[in-house]
């Protein structure tokens, strides 16, 4: 009986060994046919201008520890952070997206959405790939959840605007595009000026993860009289925020919800870090606008919305603009229906009841809650329809023309 078991065990061991041998042979053939990069320099060739030493890290435990955002990724040699764009190469943390935007456009400033900065003006907008969060409903997931090496090597960008007179006598503008593999901070600022933009927005994906690119561009933009807008989820560490704050005129924060469990499961982060960023922005004197994308069954609980509005009022003050934006099915949330307008209106009433002065509804073109109202006399000061500004009555000093109430914002 014992000999019989031994023979059976030997038989199955032989089969397993043969399987492993075949797997090894197959792997050897694949490696020989398609050799993987053996070093970082083969994956990203030496001299690639999009590779640059990163900020906010230190060497620790035979690796690199990143301190840019709350995740504080520890990266052994050759590995990347969860943002996909920061890598430990030869013991140094490097960014792979320096001066390599994948999306560059001229937008209305209202599209960000930002309502208290130069209404009706154009804003030069750009993004690289990558994000440190993984929102299940991300509307720009094609770039936010991508890798630098998957991005097109060349990007079309608006280089200047040509002004001409139309047959009806009105002046029109036409954007002149160019193609490039590298758009440096200096070139971004030059293009923004040539396209007659009033500001630059770091947007579409998550500008925190292309921090070095943002910082240098914002610094140069400030010198040339351009405004800077950070469109972000607010997932950034204190030291990095403190260094950037002097160059940012408006920090638009996507506050995804007001529940830690929702943040962990649906966003891939923690609410407490975003709230910390909002408080620090107030401390640094940076104007902040907040957007809450309301998705049915996920973050549209009215008790949670009331807690959020109350927290904003108590910690940031009543004058922080708050948007409740309509959700439409995106990315991995295709099974969730669009947000009913009634839900957005109910959320807005709650926020107004909690004492917030400027509460908007987004992604519902033509709704009266797109307008800016004076919190004292309640008259319409800025009338909007989608991204178009139909009327702006706020005077050059930022006051209501009817009762002289000061309206917070950058108006000139």
What is the phi/psi pair of residue 23, to 5°? Answer: -65, -40
Closest CA to 350 of 369, 328, 334, 329: 369
Q: State residue 234's pLDDT score.
A: 98
Write out the two tokens for 371: 């307008």
Mean pLDDT, to the nearest integer, of 276-299? 97
Helical axes 302-315 vs 341-353, angle rounded to 10°:
40
Write out the two tokens for 110: 């209202």
Q: State residue 36's pLDDT score.
A: 47
Bigger pLDDT: 37 vs 144: 144
Beta bridge partners of 58: 65
Q: pTM for the full model? A: 0.88
Q: For 51-71, write each residue's pLDDT tens digit.
A: 999 999 999 988 999 999 999
Q: For 113-128, write each residue's pLDDT tens digit.
A: 999 999 999 999 999 9
Q: State residue 31's pLDDT score.
A: 47
Look over the chain and give the mean of its residue pLDDT values, rounded to a whole number.
Answer: 91
136 phi-psi bin (left φ>0, alpha ψ -120 to 50, beta other): alpha
Question: How many helices (H) does the chain have, and how many strands (E)?
Answer: 10, 19
Is 106 within 8 Å of 188 (Cβ atoms)?
no
């Amino acid at each position: 009986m014992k000999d019989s078991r031994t023979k059976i065990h030997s038989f199955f061991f032989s089969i397993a060994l043969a399987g492993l041998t075949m797997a090894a042979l197959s792997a050897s053939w694949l490696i020989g046919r398609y050799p993987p990069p053996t070093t970082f320099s083969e994956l990203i060739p030496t001299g690639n201008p999009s590779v640059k030493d990163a900020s906010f890290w230190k060497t620790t435990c035979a690796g690199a520890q990143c301190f840019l955002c709350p995740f504080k990724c520890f990266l052994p040699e050759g590995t990347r952070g969860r943002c996909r764009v920061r890598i430990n190469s030869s013991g140094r943390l490097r960014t792979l997206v320096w001066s390599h935007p994948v999306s560059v456009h001229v937008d209305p400033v209202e599209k960000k959405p930002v309502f208290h900065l130069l209404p009706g003006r154009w804003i030069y907008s750009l993004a690289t790939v990558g994000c440190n969060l993984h929102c299940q409903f991300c509307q720009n997931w094609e770039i936010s959840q991508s890798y630098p090496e998957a991005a097109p090597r060349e990007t079309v960008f608006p280089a200047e605007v040509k002004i001409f007179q139309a047959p009806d006598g009105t002046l029109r503008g036409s954007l002149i595009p160019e193609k490039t593999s590298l758009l440096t901070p200096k070139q971004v600022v030059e293009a923004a000026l040539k396209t007659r933009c009033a500001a630059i927005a770091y947007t579409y994906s998550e500008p925190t993860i292309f921090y070095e690119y943002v910082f240098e561009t914002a610094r140069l933009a400030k010198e040339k009289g351009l405004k800077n807008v950070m469109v972000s989820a607010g997932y950034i560490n204190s030291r990095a925020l403190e260094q950037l704050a002097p160059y940012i005129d408006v920090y638009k924060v996507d506050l995804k919800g007001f529940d830690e469990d929702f943040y962990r499961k649906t966003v891939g982060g923690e609410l407490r870090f975003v709230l910390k960023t909002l408080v620090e922005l107030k401390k640094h004197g940076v104007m902040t606008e907040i957007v809450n994308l309301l998705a049915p069954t996920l973050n549209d609980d009215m008790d949670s919305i009331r807690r959020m509005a109350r927290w904003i009022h108590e910690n940031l003050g009543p004058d922080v603009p708050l948007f409740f934006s309509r959700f439409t099915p995106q990315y991995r949330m295709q099974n969730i229906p669009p947000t009913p307008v009634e839900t957005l209106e109910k959320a807005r009433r709650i926020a107004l009841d909690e004492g917030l002065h400027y509460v908007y509804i987004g992604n519902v073109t033509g709704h009266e809650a797109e307008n800016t109202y004076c919190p004292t006399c309640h008259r319409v000061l800025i009338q909007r329809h989608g991204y178009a500004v139909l009327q702006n009555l706020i005077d050059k000093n930022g006051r209501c023309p009817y009762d002289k109430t000061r309206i917070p914002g950058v108006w000139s």
